[in-house]
Amino acid sequence: VIEEIEEMMQESPDPEDDETPTQSDRLSMLSQEIQTLKRSSTNNSYEERVKRLSVAELNELLEEIETAIKDYSEELVQQLALRDELEFEKEVKNSFISVLIEVQNKQREHKETAKKKKKLKNGSPQNGKQERGHMPGTVRIYL
């Protein structure tokens, strides 16, 4: 049973293997965008450039920022879903292992109880005979 569990764990996909290069590239690009936005938002020259933008350019910038927010939100939701799925899988495996150990302990107890009962059934008359056969006729006390 333990070997089967080990096989199942080896066959289960590794979450790190699921990450495709495109997903990694996407995360990298999003990180770079955030860094650019952070640097530019703290820079006074950026603020002045934004003030000089036309309404059309501001709308375009707004769309870019909203798109970035949407992309980040989608990625966050995907990562949270993956995390929840992995946590659930871990809980199921731990529960299974706990139940398996409990069953093995009960089997062990049952076997031990069966052995004791068997010894009592088979051993009682023999033990009684052996005790009678080995009892001395007289008791000697040495001083």
pLDDT digit string, tens, across residues 103-128: 999 999 999 999 999 888 886 555 44
Number of other CB atoms surrounding residue 50 within 10 Å: 13
Asked if residue 49 is part of any domain, the answer here is yes
Q: Is residue 90 part of a domain?
A: yes
Tell the residue number behind the tokens 């001395």, with chain if given.
136
Give 26-29's long-range contacts (Cβ < 8 A, gap of 24+).
Answer: 26/71, 26/75, 27/75
Q: CA-to-CA distance for 23 and 28, rounded, in angstroms? A: 9
User: Does residue 143 belong to any structural domain of this protein?
Assistant: no
11 is in which domain, residue-wise? Answer: 2-134
Per cent of the chain over pLDDT 70 is 60
**25 lies in a domain?**
yes
100 pLDDT exceeds 80? yes
Number of domains, the chain: 1
Asked if residue 141 is part of any domain, the answer here is no
Residue at 56 is within a domain: yes
